[in-house]
Chain A
Amino acid sequence: MTEWAVELKGVRKTYRTGPIEVPALRGLSLRVAPGEFVATAGPSGSGKTTLLNIIGGLDGADAGEVLVAGQSLHLLSSGELAQLRLERIGFVFQTYNLLPVLTALENAEFTLLLQGVPTHERREKVKKLFSEIGLAGLEDRRPAELSGGQQQRVAVARAMVTEPALILADEPTANLDSATAISLLDVMEHLNRATGTTFIFSTHDPQVMERAHRLIRLRDGQIASDETREQGAAVG
């Protein structure tokens, strides 16, 4: 039996603000195999971010089941979810979200430190990753001293450095110019191929969709289309 990297079964999520109910996911089912490079696309309010939050255990589903690496998330306590995120899932946010008081290197090794990895091993991993993704020499800079693209690369490094099985990226290129966005996608695709890490990212950007190996389009909290292809396919 195949163990899916991510499996959603009839997931429902509704947000409530007073008497107003806004359904975000309406019985969504999805399977992502290990090592896939998946983009989710769709208009605002289609459920992209909610989907990523639920897969990452940042938010809970109202109904249905979410499994990450075969583990059912609704059975886990908040502490176990935190541990799962720390060990198995990497996050890349739209606005980079580096800790402003830490250097690029310290930001990247943040999760390793929380895992209790020894200093020497930590530094070695981060430096290797930095040189792979073009951040060598920027280790001691604070986020404010880095460009947007560099900050997002540090964020990717922070997500990748623990060698998670899954990386969730919520519109990672939204704040980047197109050249920087392409460069970041190169990095992510390279890491996907080199390490076999599963990537799921949300985007509005057609050039990002083009690079996805699988493109899932969402509409009104449901999957409108799900196409698997080799990279470079035109996006209509």
Chain B
Amino acid sequence: MKGSLLLVKVSWRNLWRNPRGTSLTALALGLGLALLLISLGLLDGGHEQTIADGVRLGPGHVVIQAKGYQDSSSDELLLPSRVVFRIEGFLQSGDMKHVVRGISPRLLANGLLSSSANAAGVRIMGVIPHDEQAVSLIPLRIVAGTYLSNDSLSAVVIGAGLARKLEVKIGSKVVLMTQALRQPSTDTKNGAGEEMQSTLLRVSGIFRTGLQAVDATIIHLPSAAARTLLGVADGHVTQVALLLEREGDAPLVAGALRQQLTEAPIEVLTWRESIPMLAQILGLDHAFNYIMNGVILVTVGLGILNTILMRVLERRYEFGVCKALGLRPLQLAVMVIGESLALTVISLALGLALGLSVNHHFATSGLDLRWVFTTGLPPALVFDPILYSRLTSERIVWSVGIVFAMATIISLYPALKAARTELPDALKVL
């Protein structure tokens, strides 16, 4: 287009006719982008932490269980030892060993834990201590005593909430009572099935996750002790929990396992399938955040529309003169869009500088939200109260693209308005 350079020059200089207005508008749009980047960084970082913590307090990134366990939660559905061996063998071979960080076979059941002071219903997790430490968050959240070791057969690790209820401390004796599991392959007449069993255990460690449901109900004891108590054959487990190096590999690993164990009566679930509530909460959080970001962008966008429109309306006479001199409507529109784009570029630079700086701070030092949850985390949430931002380059490009597109679209109406400057009416203003 002839004279494009001049139009760009005019656009740029027009921006600085009102430096305060331009600076404020650029700041508003820049703040919009910065807020978008900060909120996306914290959202993604928070979600990543929530998923990491959630899966480590639950069944891992991928869980393998007997078919039907997810729906029925029947502890009598067990994985036979030969299937567990096959799973472990497959996961420790080839490429899988680089993808999988930890494998923990678990035996699960419900029970009643009693102390001399009180009793409480508990969820028993019989674990191999070394394996569980590679998968679970609980061994990392011990606040008193120590976690289980492979040779501590009568030890139990309980949550702080449960310890408070039972009024026990490290070294206290507790009695765990449960019903022996009835297994389809086991002869119930041998005396093990459906009978109440109990064992004396000693509290070796107390953990605190901050999640009331976990701290008040989960207990860990060595799998050998759990097997004996529940009357389960050696090597049989309720589930095999896997912790992966990358959360994104969960569908891949689950798919490979399903393919490998087609004939076995098992179900392989990713965390999204095994903890659907967590996936739903995160999905809702995402949706809410997108709506909030949309509101921020629309608000900022309306501010910019107002500014640019005002500039155009104020210069109606000037546009009339340009048109009288031979400037075509398209050139007038280009001039206004050029002005808006120049403003956008300045704003994006401001927004990026601010947004990335704040994100860097939150990525390294974190955003401490402990003051919000002084009495523990809400039962439906699983996350570390210190949020660490995580902003990917895709998110940055996406955010900049959205703001740029928004500013461009917003400038179309004022540009159209300028292009439609009517002669000779526009020249009659003064």
Contact = CB atoms under 8 A, between A and B. Distances in A.
B191 interface: no
A101 B423 contact: no
Main secondary structure of the interface of A (DSSP, over half): helix
A25 to B, nearest CB: 13
A102 B321 contact: no
Contacts, number: 68
B374 to A, nearest CB: 58
Interface in B273-331: 317-318, 321-329, 331
A7 to B, nearest CB: 21
B326 A87 contact: yes
Contacts of B323: 82
A179 interface: no
A87 B323 CA distance: 13
Given A58-B423, A99-B10, A101-B10, A114 B325 contact: yes
A114 B424 CA distance: 21
B325 A58 contact: no
A35 B331 CA distance: 32
Interface size band for A: 20 to 34
A111 interface: yes
Interface in A52-76: 53, 56, 58-59
B46 to A, nearest CB: 47
B430 A106 contact: no
A56 to B, nearest CB: 7
B326 A114 contact: yes
B3 A101 contact: no
B325 A91 contact: yes
A116 B328 CA distance: 14
A78 interface: yes
> Interface range on chain B: under 10, 10 to 19, 20 to 34, or 35 or more?
20 to 34
A102 B7 CA distance: 11
Nearest to A49: B424
Contacts of B328: 79, 82
A192 to B, nearest CB: 20
Contacts of A115: 2
B2 A114 contact: yes
Given A82-B328, A86-B325, A116 B2 contact: yes
Contacts of B5: 113
Given A78-B329, A79-B328, A158-B325, A114 B3 contact: yes
B6 interface: yes
B3 A113 contact: yes
Given A85-B325, A86-B325, A91-B324, 9 more contacts: A58-B427, A85-B326, A99-B318, A101-B16, A113-B5, A114-B325, A114-B327, A114-B331, A116-B2
Interface of B: 2-3, 5-6, 9-10, 13-14, 16-17, 317-318, 321-329, 331, 423-424, 427, 430
